[in-house]
Amino acid sequence: MAGKSIAIIPARGGSKRIPGKNIKPFNGRPIIAYSIEAALKSGCFDEVMVSTDDGEIAEVAGEYGAVVPFVRSSANSDDHATLAQVCKEVLEQYKDDGIVFDFFCCILPTAPFVSAANLQKGKQILLERAADSVVTVAKFSYPAQRALKLDEKGTMSMIWPEFYESRSQDLTAAYHDAGQFYWMRSKSLLEQMRFFAANSIALPLPEMEVQDIDTLDDWQLAELKYKHATPAAPKRQPGK
């Protein structure tokens, strides 16, 4: 029988590239609301919490149904703290309060495409395959082996020139982290301190459901994708 599970949504304040990023309105709602609501809807968790150092983020999180039982430490609130360190702090804080979670899912706060169904699927894979972690991934749309690099003068060269003559269809498909969530056994995190653990299983997602959001251009592209994926309901005609 599976043990207790917690959703950890890490959302510190002080974003520099997109001010107020974690609670900035996305399609009319704070972007963190999508992660909270998907976690609650999934039914996978005994607790859905937000780890933050910011009072405004904590208030918004509470409005959408998450708990913020403690403030994130200053040591894990700067640009150098890793997600693994943040999750470790959360698990240890709960343990100090007498609550042990066997599994956790780190759900990013800027992941509006995250779904309850995929959270359920991730947990199922974690349990059925006895994995250390399950990571959402997306396939590169262009062969990564044919990537280019530029020097300070703009002169380009291939990173892997040995693939210059290779046909795209002959190259191994490459994937990248989709940046939505990481299901993991708590024991594996504490032992390895990394989400890409010794036995990590991928959960591939379609490219239209994946968008890294680091700049305002990324944000606008994510909103376009979201509106395309969730078209507005047709307006009701008079007399119908």
CATH number of the domain to which 208 belongs: 3.90.550.10
* Helix (H) or strand (E) segment spanning residue 103: strand 103-107
Q: Is 169 part of any domain?
A: no
- Tokens 């470790």, located at residue: 88
Hey, what long-range contacts does 80-83 have (CB within 8 A, 24 or more apart)?
83/10, 83/182, 83/195
Q: Is 12 part of any domain?
A: yes
Q: Is 236 part of any domain?
A: no
Q: Is 80 part of any domain?
A: yes
Q: Is 159 part of any domain?
A: no
Please report, for residues 58, 94, 112, 152, the alpha-carbon distance to residue 68 in angstroms, rounded to integers and kept in the order given.
Answer: 6, 12, 20, 46
Can you list the alpha helix ranges (DSSP code H) found in the chain? 32-42, 55-63, 83-96, 116-128, 186-192, 216-229
Check residue 57 and report its DSSP letter: H
Q: For the chain, what is the domain count?
A: 1
Tell me the pairing of strands 133-139 and 25-26: unpaired
- Tokens 């894979």, located at residue: 125
Assessment of whether the complete model's pTM goes beyond 0.85: yes
Cα–Cα–Cα angle for 51, 66, 47, rounded to 5 degrees: 85
**CA 176 – CA 27 distance, rounded (Å):** 26
Q: Is 69 part of any domain?
A: yes
- Burial, 128: exposed, middle or buried (Cβ in 10 Å; 0-12, 13-18, 19+)? exposed
pLDDT in tens, the chain (240 residues): 479 999 999 999 988 789 999 999 999 999 999 999 999 999 999 999 999 999 999 999 999 999 999 999 999 988 888 999 999 999 999 999 999 999 999 999 999 999 999 999 999 999 999 999 999 999 999 999 999 999 999 999 999 999 999 999 999 999 999 999 999 999 999 999 999 999 999 999 999 999 999 999 999 999 999 998 875 534 444 444
- Tokens 């304040």, located at residue: 13
Domain, as residue range, for 92: 5-139+174-229
Q: Is 160 part of any domain?
A: no
Q: Is 145 part of any domain?
A: no
**CA 172 – CA 143 distance, rounded (Å):** 8
Cα–Cα–Cα angle for 210, 105, 216, rounded to 5 degrees: 35
**What Rg, from alpha-carbon coordinates, does the chain have?**
20
Q: What is the pLDDT of residue 228?
A: 86
Burial 17-51 (b: 16+ CB within 10 A, else e): ebeebbbbebeeebbbbbbbbbbbebebbebbbbb
